Structure 1
Amino acid sequence: MTASRTLLDRRRFLGTAAATVGATLAAPALAQSQAVYDPTAENHETTEYTNDRRNISSFRTLDWRPYFDNTANGAVLVDTISRALHFWSEDQTVYKLYPTSVPLTADLTRRGRTEIIKKVEGPTWSPTPSMKERNPEWPDFVPAGPDNPLGTHALWLSWQYYRIHGTHDTRKIGRKSSNGCIGLYNEQIAELFSLTKVGTQVLLI
């Protein structure tokens, strides 16, 4: 084999290898197996999927314009179908996308426009009257701490009893698991807490 032929074959090999590696790195969401919530699975278990384009397309970045007239005081969009929360800062330089938990059933789900009226770090929790009626064994009050259903931070909405909050039970994120509120990982609610203010507009769809 000539030296020129050897060099040509080596270049072809390297080019093919680089293309293969490049394709793998360019499309990690399609190539890797991920754990996602499958609403059709028994007991709402998390299932493994590969190349599930439906999940990728639903959990995607969005533009604020179809949902808000402006971003005054910042804007939060909660999509209860894709189970995602979007945040835009007032000057639109900050955009965040977080996975969420959503209400268990349609009758517990509220949609429409509201706003943040209160911010609490280390929230306490008490069940609503309807929660207590459905679950009389629940405690009347839970102090702040690792057993608190609201996690480390909570954002009160103008709708009575509705919150965007953290959770110490990370299994709930990405699932239909709440009694009406929207849940985030504690690390992400802490970040959202720092970015929002009283008056930040919120839309649930």
Structure 2
Amino acid sequence: MSNDGLKFNTRRGFLAGSAAMIAAPALAQETAAVNSASTTESERDLSEVVRRNISSFRTLDWQPYFNNTRNGAILVDIDSRAVHYWSEDESIYKLYPSSVPLTQELTRRGRTEVIRKVEGPSWRPTPSMLERNPEWPEYIGPGPDNPLGTHALYLSWTYYRIHGTHDTRKIGRRSSNGCIGLYNEHISELFSMAKVGTQVLLI
């Protein structure tokens, strides 16, 4: 393709995108607010955070954290912003970067388990989320605007999930209201391996 053709296609794409934004319905604009940069931490020096995350992003053994790997085991390390998975027979080990809660007040640690698996989840903000963000919609169905991404593992704690995200800026940062987020391709893989009853520990 010539440079002129490339410029034309780029300009046409920009204009189409701009027109779509102007014509976007109110719900789409509200869901954009849910997924906006304002819901993700800002760093003065992102390189410091990246260095810190990489230094602590390391493989781990399951033994210090679980008595066994029955039904598989998921370890969420909030400080290093990583999710570890071991299969029941220990033949599979996976390590994924994750998003974590925005504040310590929103953070929960301890033992739980997967109680439900949903592909194409819908999302409803909790009452406390709506109190903090009254402009947010009360419901978002499955799709590209959904804050839960393509898959969700529901935990035994009410409102807590390990889920995907369409907003890749959130991974590796404090950006959630309590849940743990993964890239969509990673949650899809974890979803295929985890089962109802898989044990989960958040540390």
| TM-score normalised by L of structure 2 | 0.77
1:158 alignment counterpart: 156
Q: 1:173 to 1:56 in 2, by over 3 A?
A: closer
Q: Deviations over 1:47-101 (max 9, x none)?
A: 347x94x544310000000000000000000000000000000000000000000
Q: Structure 1: which amino acid aligns with 2:69?
A: T
Percent of pairs identical after alignment? 75
1:101 aligns with 2:99: yes
What SS does the aligned partner of 1:119 have?
strand
What SS does the aligned partner of 2:75 have?
strand
1:192 aligns with 2:198: no
Q: Structure 1: which amino acid aligns with 2:107?
A: T
What SS does the aligned partner of 1:44 have?
coil
Alignment match of 2:108 (pick from 107, 110, 122): 110
User: C-alpha separation between the residues in 2 aligned to 1:45 and 1:151?
Assistant: 28
Do the aligned partners of 2:121 and 2:148 also contact (CA within 8 Å) in 1? Answer: yes
Q: 1:85 to 1:45 in 2, by over 3 A?
A: farther
Give the number of the structure with larger relative contact order, counting CA–CA contacts within 8 Å between residues 6 or more apart. Answer: 2
Do the aligned partners of 2:53 and 2:81 also contact (CA within 8 Å) in 1? Answer: no
User: C-alpha separation between the residues in 2 aligned to 1:100 and 1:55?
Assistant: 10
Q: What is the aligned-residue RMSD (CA, Å)?
A: 1.6
CA drift of 1:156 comes to 0.2
User: C-alpha separation between the residues in 2 aligned to 1:166 and 1:87?
Assistant: 16
What SS does the aligned partner of 2:159 have?
coil
Q: Structure 2: which amino acid aligns with 1:83?
A: R
Task: Report the count of equivalent residues.
Answer: 162
User: C-alpha separation between the residues in 2 aligned to 1:166 and 1:157?
Assistant: 14
Q: 1:88 to 1:46 in 2, by over 3 A?
A: farther
2:55 alignment counterpart: 57
Alignment match of 1:169 (pick from 161, 167, 170): 167
**Structure 2 unaligned blocks of 5 or more:** 1-40
What SS does the aligned partner of 1:61 have?
coil
User: C-alpha separation between the residues in 1 aligned to 2:179 and 2:53?
Assistant: 22
Runs of 4+ residues deviating >6 angstroms: none
What SS does the aligned partner of 1:113 have?
strand
